[in-house]
Amino acid sequence: QVQLVESGGGLVQPGGSLKLSCAASTNIFSLYTVGWYRRAPGKQRELVANAMSEGNTIYADSVKGRFTISRDNIKNTLYLQMNNLKPEDTAVYYCNAKHHLFGHGDYWGQGTQVTVSS
């Protein structure tokens, strides 16, 4: 199976930046769609950003222009650069990898807490 481990979360001031990392146990980027989701207090899990193996990216409207998803295929690591953070960005952030073939794997990390507060 694929193991995903997030890191980089923490407490930041509004307007600040964080870079989240998701280390995968194996090279997954050729066959998996990878992305970031978050669950804010009192809200359902939502997609933040996805990156397909071809390089296409999708962003939630709420983070478009502020967040950037990227990946390092050699290091098997997914990143989320988060700029101009807002209090409403406070959430547990999860990385995810979905195999292109149905039934071949849908993997999640344990999450990393991001808190945006003054």
The pLDDT tens digits of the residues spanning 8-25 come to: 999 999 999 999 999 999
Q: How does the average pLDDT of the chain come out, rounded?
A: 94
106: pLDDT strictly greater than 80: yes
Q: Which residues pair with 36 in a beta bridge?
A: 49, 95
**How large is the average pLDDT for residues 21-31?**
88
Task: State the Cα–Cα distance between residues 94 and 4, nearest whole angstrom.
Answer: 9
pLDDT score of 73 more than 90: no
% of the chain at pLDDT higher than 90 = 81
Backbone angles phi, psi at 57, to 5 degrees: -125, 150
The Cα–Cα gap between 96 and 87 comes to 23
Question: With 0-12 CB in 10 A as exposed, 13-18 as middle and 19+ as buried, what is 37?
Answer: buried
Residue 24 in 3-state DSSP?
strand
Mean pLDDT over 47-69 rounds to 94
DSSP state of 43: S
Residue 28 neighbours by CB distance under 10 Å:
22
Checking if the pLDDT of 28 tops 80, the result is: no
